[in-house]
Amino acid sequence: MSLGIEVDMSSPLMYGTPSSRVEGTPRSGVGGTPARQRPDLGSIRKAPQVDLHSDADGAVASEQALGQKLVIWGTDVNVGTCKEKFQRFLQRFIDPTSNEDENAGLDLNEPLYMQKLEEISVVGEPVLNVNCSHVQSFDADLYRQLISYPQEVIPTFDMAVNELFFERFPDSILEHQIQVRPYNALKTRNMRSLNPEDIDQMITISGMVIRTSQLIPEMQEAFFQCQVCAFSTRVEVDRGRIAEPAVCRNCNTTHSLALIHNRSAFSDKQMIKVQESPDDMPAGQTPHTTIVYAHNDLVDKVQPGDRINITGIYRAVPMRENPRQSNVKSVYKTHIDVIHFRKTDEKRLHGLDEDSDQKLFTEERVQILKELASKPDVYDRLSSALAPSIYEHEDIKKGILLQLFGGTRKDFSQTGRGNFRAEVNILLCGDPGTSKSQLLQYVFNLVPRGQYTSGKGSSAVGLTAYVMKDPETKQLVLQTGALVLSDNGICCIDEFDKMSDSTRSVLHEVMEQQTLSIAKAGIICQLNARTSVLAAANPVESQWNPKKTTIENIQLPHTLLSRFDLIFLMLDPQDEAYDRRLAHHLVALYYQSEEQIEEEFLDMAVLKDYIAYARTYINPRLNEEASQALIEAYVDMRKIGSGRGMVSAYPRQLESLIRLAEAHAKVRFSDKVETIDVEEAKRLQREALKQSATDPRTGFVDISILTTGMSATARKRKEEVAQALKKMIQSKGKTPAMKYQQLFDDLRGQSEAAITKDMFEEALRALADEDYLTVTGKTVRLL
């Protein structure tokens, strides 16, 4: 190193400043590559090294020999050992089980960080991100030092890396020396648990960016010039202050030095406000915020709204002492100097995988969950823990439970089929006042990324996305609506039937393709909306009419209905035993003791974790028997219909069967979908169909009610009427025009079955479609 001349070379704190940059063409090698200041590690403090054994000052020269005894003042860090340890870590650390996406494409059986260094030499970006958990598993003591004394240890790491790097790649040219950025300090905590003990330690916290400031130039080094003799001197900023030299060293004039701004060195700095993420907060309190400073190239890396993990050093600065006041406020200002950002929702946007919400489960918690999963009746237990205040409706609860778990996500984009939907959609219809909304509210409260909207109040834009002017930046920004916000969650839509047609049409894309296309105000994009939809609809006539089909009762287009995996009716069963149990349940609700209520709340927490765990870690696949069972089930379903000359199952039904079976396997924490899962899926689907797709005229379950909006018998009858009408007109001979009313009366007289005006008109329309006749006003003309 040829840069520092008068300073102690061995000090890790000796950092070249921008002023010491070598002008001209960059050369390679440690010496040739300029170092860059790290304001993230705080102002450069001239911390002396202390020799533990002797006070002799000769330590500087023979640093290697005496290395073992030398520590940085105030710490137990020995520079030499620390450097050596870290180099060993870099050279030897292997993590064969790594699944971080950052390590994609690296050979997991080779030293991980050496490969990364190689990458640096190729790409030329002089930043090395180091996962602290790797350091910990490699050398716990080194890790402890890193956490406790980041300000001293990280520069040592930098030195170690650079030596190693330029030894290996002596010819590579970098913009500046490599900087080590540790992340994922295992002491990850939420903002709320930060306390005075964490000051000056390295921490990792998670949160959401709420504000970013403008770029602030921060002076790193002041440049002074003597007004008398033009002698110049540089003064480094120490803890936000510049010691202005009073005397010129050259000509000894006092107070002759003036600050020259444009020759002083500045670094970029940005203030970022981070707010605690809503999931980490205790109920009933407001979220905390923390100020974070980003330096140099970390400036402008994050935007308001991003969810991030921040690794940095926690600082507390006393409020500035005011020389004119004798006493000061006794409060410290706290902030975090950021070393590393990691966006937690980045992956969500790219749709790579779903373990972005790495919810941390403690060992015991996992144990409890697994224990629960091993119980044979876990499925029933969970479904009864779901919304205990709502009475019965077991199958509906089970359906919703499966929806909460969801199927396995499959990617067929290679074969051109795109993503398969893994989310289960459920529609509840039924009489008003059957606690549908309550069920929706419960689900909304249970899942972390849930949205609740009412069809009455929401518009297409509210569900999808809209463009608005950001009040701060005055730029057009895309504001996402409920469906996008509930990506990977559940979107609960109440009063589904009250929704306007245009709004509903948005759902077509979401519920099958799981994406949302937007073309608004010059912004054309496709957003992910992998959301499950849980909708509730009321019948058109305030009461459910058992004489009508589902479609007729709720008046929703069949194209939309067929996208629901399960459609349940929530009806008042109106039988005495049920009434009694219901009454008992409700009365109990009103006087149960505190403890019992307490117990249930515990259940809700367990249920939450159980679902989160299963969603994150369990990805069941079909086994051979299950596939066979599914095939059989589908064939059986097709067969039922074929006997009566109608289609009784479509591939959509098969797909939803698979999803339900997978979800059921997830409930059992099983990696394999087995026959029992298929059985339950079949049962649930049958149950739902029995409720929603029974043709009231025949009493048979008829899938075409949902898929085409009309039962097969109804269609057949329509056909018959049309044919009868045609026959009748033909029998009349050559009459080019007929009176409408007369034709209707004739048909009525001829037919045995009662013919309504609607049926007659439908028949006319059908014949008009055949180009057999046209209807103009009150006359019917043959063509």
Partner 1 sequence: MPSSHDWINKPLGVVEAMFAQSNSNPEWEAKVLEYFKGQLKEKESHSWVPSLNDVPLHYLKPNSLVKFRCLVQDMFDPEFYMGVYETVDPSTKANVLRCGKYKDVTECGVDLNSRNTVTAERQTFYCVPIPGESPWAKEISFLSAARVVPSTSYVPSRQKRSYEEDDDDMDTQPQKQREPHTEPHGNGDSKRQETEAPSSQTTTPSDCSSHLDLNFPLPGERGPACLVKVYEGLDSFKLNDTLEIYGILSVNPVLTVLGEEKDPSLLLLNPTESMETPEEQRAHDPPASLVPRLHMLYARPLQHNNPLLPSAPTEDQSAFVSSFLVEMASVRAELLAYLTHVLLGDGLAAEYLLLHLISDVYTRRDVLPLGKFTLNLSGCPLNSYTERLYQIVQQLVPCSYRLSMSLHTMNSMRLVPKKDYVANRLVSGALQLARNTSLFLDETQLEQGQLDSSGVRNITALGNLISWQKVDYDFSYHQMEFPCNINVLVTSEGRSLLPSDCQVPLQPQVTPPNMEEYLTTIHMAQFTSQINKFRVYLSLARTLDYSISDEVTKAVEDDFVDMRKDDPQSVTAEDLHRMLVVARLLSLSLGQTTLSRDGWMRAKHIDMLRRSRTEQQKSLNGNEP
Near partner 1 in 369-398, by CB under 8 A: 387-389, 391
CA dihedral 189, 192, 198, 202 (to 10 degrees): 40
Q: Which of residues 44-63 bind partner 1 (CB under 8 A)?
A: none
Contacting partner 1 within 211-250 (CB under 8 A): 211, 213, 216, 218-219, 237, 240-242
Task: Report if residue 262 touches partner 1, rule: CB under 8 A.
Answer: no
Amino acid (1-letter code) at residue 491: C
Q: Based on CB atoms, which residue is closest to partner 1, 328 or 635?
A: 328
Element (H, E) at 179: strand 179-183
What SS3 class is residue 573? coil
Nearest CB to partner 1, comparing residues 278 and 416: 278
Give, for 561, the enclosing helix (H) or strand (E): helix 558-561
d(Cα 587, Cα 590) in Å, to the nearest integer?
A: 5
Tell me the C-alpha distance between 120 and 125, whole Å.
6
What does the angle CA 627 – CA 630 – CA 631 come to, to the nearest 5 degrees? 90
CB of 547 vs partner 1, minimal distance in Å: 16
Stretch 422-441 residues interacting with partner 1 (CB under 8 A):
433-435, 437-438, 441
Q: Which of residues 447-486 bind partner 1 (CB under 8 A)?
A: 454, 457
Nearest 10 degrees: Cα torsion 276, 281, 287, 291: -30
Beta-ladder partners of 315: 335
Nearer to partner 1, 180 or 222 (CB): 222
Q: Which is nearer to partner 1, 67 or 448 (CB)?
A: 448
CB of 92 to partner 1, least distance (A): 39
Q: Which stretch binds partner 1 (CB under 8 A): 56-64, 228-236, 265-273, 422-430?
A: 265-273
Question: Could you tell me the smallest distance in angstroms from the CB atom of residue 457 to partner 1?
Answer: 6
Distance, in Å, from the CA atom of 613 to the CA atom of 734, rounded to the nearest integer, reads 75
CB half-sphere exposure, 404, CA atoms < 13 A: 28
Stretch that binds partner 1, among 273-281, 337-345, 412-420, 697-705 (CB under 8 A): 273-281
Q: CB of residue 512 vs partner 1: minimum separation in angstroms?
A: 28
How many CB atoms neighbour CB 88 within 10 A?
Answer: 14
Contact region for partner 1 (CB under 8 A) — 154-162, 169-177, 188-196, 412-420? Answer: 188-196
Q: How far is the CB of 389 from partner 1 (least distance, A)?
A: 4
Q: Which residues of 395-531 form beta strands (DSSP E)? A: 410-412, 418-420, 426-430, 450-454, 465-469, 476-480, 490-494, 515-520, 523-528
Q: In this complex, which beta carbon is closest to partner 1, that of residue 105 or of residue 284?
A: 284
Which 613-632 residues touch partner 1, going by CB under 8 A? none
Beta bridge partners of 224: 233, 259
394 neighbors 383 (Cβ within 8 angstroms): yes
Q: Minimum Å distance from CB 592 to partner 1?
A: 8
The count of chain residues that interact with partner 1, using the rule CB under 8 A, is 84
Strand segments (E) across 529-671: 532-537, 566-570, 621-622
Nearer of residues 58 and 457 to partner 1, judged by Cβ: 457
Q: Cα(702)–Cα(711) distance, rounded to whole angstroms?
A: 6
| Binding to partner 1, residues 320-379 (CB under 8 A) | 320-322, 325-335
The residue range among 175-183, 195-203, 684-692, 770-778 that interacts with partner 1, by the rule CB under 8 A, is 195-203
Enumerate residues 6+ apart whose C-beta is below 8 A from 624. none
Give CA–CA dist 520/481, Å, rounded. 14
- What is the DSSP track for 358-415? -----HHHHHHHHHHHHSTTHHHHHHHHSSTTS---HHHHHHHHHHHH----EEEGGG
For position 273 contacting partner 1 by CB under 8 A, the verdict is yes
Name residue, tokens 């300090």. Answer: 185
Member of 349, 468, 587, 753 binding partner 1 (CB under 8 A): 587
Among 96, 278, 645, 699, binds partner 1 (CB under 8 A): 278
Calculated CA dihedral for residues 382, 388, 392, 398, nearest 10 degrees: -30
Q: Secondary structure of 86-155 in the HEC alphabet? A: HHHHHHHCCCCCCCCHHHCCCCCCCCHHHHHHHHHHHHCCCEEEEEHHHHHHHCHHHHHHHHHCHHHHHH
Among 29, 42, 287, 696, binds partner 1 (CB under 8 A): 287
The residue among 17 and 162 lying less far from partner 1, judged by its C-beta, is 17
Q: Which residue has the tokens 């006493």?
A: 327
Query: Is residue 445 part of the contact set for partner 1 (CB under 8 A)?
Result: yes
Please, are residues 66 and 51 in contact by the beta-carbon 8 Å criterion? yes
590 is a site residue for partner 1 (CB under 8 A): yes
Q: How many CA atoms, within 13 angstroms, populate the side-chain half-sphere of residue 180?
A: 27
CB 202 within 8 A of CB 339: yes
Residue 73 sits in the site that holds partner 1 (CB under 8 A): no
Residues of span 557-586 touching partner 1 by CB under 8 A? 572, 574, 576, 579-580, 582-584, 586
Residue 360 CB, shortest distance to partner 1, in Å, is 21
Instruction: Out of 48, 305, 418, 546, point to the residue binding partner 1 (CB under 8 A).
Output: 305
Shortest Å distance, C-beta 607 to partner 1: 11
Q: Judged by CB, which is closer to partner 1: 84, or 280?
A: 280
Q: Which stretch binds partner 1 (CB under 8 A): 286-294, 373-381, 549-557, 698-706?
A: 286-294
Q: Tokens 């009231």 correspond to what residue?
A: 696
When the beta carbons of 64 and 285 are compared against partner 1, the nearer one is 285
Q: Closer to partner 1 by CB, 52 or 468: give it.
A: 468
Name the one range near partner 1 by CB under 8 A: 150-158, 318-326, 608-616, 763-771: 318-326
Within residues 538-557, the interface with partner 1 by CB under 8 A covers 543
- Pick the binder of partner 1 from 203, 208, 336, 339 (CB under 8 A): 208
Interface pick for partner 1 out of 2, 109, 285, 776 (rule CB under 8 A): 285
Between 56 and 331, name the residue whose CB sits nearer to partner 1. Answer: 331
Please give the residues from 640 up to 679 whose contact with partner 1 meets the rule CB under 8 A: none
What DSSP string runs through 28-81?
-STTTSPP---GGG-SPP-PPEEESS---GGGGTTHHHHGGGEEETTS---HHH
CB of 472 to partner 1, least distance (A): 9
Q: Name the minimum Å distance from CB 434 to partner 1.
A: 7
Binding to partner 1 (CB under 8 A) within 121-160 occurs at: none
CA distance 275 to 268: 23
Closest separation in Å from C-beta 240 to partner 1: 5
In the complex, the smallest distance separating the C-beta of residue 436 from partner 1, rounded to whole angstroms, is 12
Which range binds partner 1 by CB under 8 A, 76-84, 280-288, 374-382, 421-429? 280-288
Give 591 or 754: the residue with its C-beta nearer to partner 1.
591
Q: What angle do CA 317, 323, 329 make, to 5 degrees?
A: 45
Q: Which part of the chain contacts partner 1 (CB under 8 A), choosing from 191-199, 226-234, 339-347, 407-415?
A: 191-199
Least Cβ distance, residue 477 to partner 1 (angstroms): 13
